[in-house]
């Protein structure tokens, strides 16, 4: 199983909240493969505090980073469109993360499952 860390988990790890830094370290020590989307990298840098630069580089450097390819972008747009037809507004960034997880059969680690109302997705149960 490859775990796709969403922004919420990455931010908590960077700011040492909710035990996320230790959780990520423990998962890595157990041999779990940890990853994120290039979209999440952009979100992290968009909100990074100056004092977090070194730890951000270290954390992101330890993860596999999945690019946003044309097939992922198409899938994300399709997910967003399908939700809109049902009257739901979903953020494109979240749908890019969802499409990345679907494209590569990844398990999402997030605190915001409600942002990912896609039945085919797999989620990691956070403590």
Predicted confidence (pLDDT) per residue in 14-63, tens digit = 999 999 999 999 999 999 999 999 999 999 999 999 999 999 999 999 99
Write the DSSP string, 64-100. EEE---HHHHHHHHHHHHHHHHTT----HHHHHHHHH
Q: Where are the domains of the chain?
A: 2-123
Position 122 scores a pLDDT of 98
CB 124 within 8 A of CB 108: yes
- Written out in words, the top-level CATH class of the domain with range 2-123 is alpha beta
CB 124 within 8 A of CB 23: no
List, for residues 50-102, the tens digit of each pLDDT value.
999 999 999 999 999 999 999 999 999 999 999 999 999 999 999 999 999 99
Position 97 scores a pLDDT of 98
* Residue 3, helix vs strand vs coil: strand
Q: In this structure, what token pair is assigned to residue 55?
A: 């730890």
| Confidence band for 119, pLDDT divided at 50, 70 and 90 | very high
CB 20 within 8 A of CB 62: no
Write the DSSP string, 32-62. -EEEEEHHHHHHHHHH--GGGHHHHHHHHHT
Position 113 scores a pLDDT of 96
């Amino acid at each position: 199983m490859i775990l796709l860390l969403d922004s919420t988990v990455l931010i908590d790890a960077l700011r040492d909240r909710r035990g996320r830094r230790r959780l990520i370290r423990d998962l890595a020590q157990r041999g779990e493969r940890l990853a994120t989307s290039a979209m999440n990298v952009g979100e992290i840098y968009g909100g990074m505090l100056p004092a977090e630069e070194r730890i951000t580089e270290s954390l992101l450097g330890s993860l596999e980073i999945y690019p946003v390819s044309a097939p992922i972008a198409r899938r994300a747009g399709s997910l967003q469109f399908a939700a809109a037809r049902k009257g739901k507004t979903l953020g494109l960034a979240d749908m890019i993360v969802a499409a990345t997880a679907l494209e590569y059969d990844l398990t999402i680690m997030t605190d915001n499952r409600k942002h990912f109302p896609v039945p085919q997705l797999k989620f990691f149960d956070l403590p």
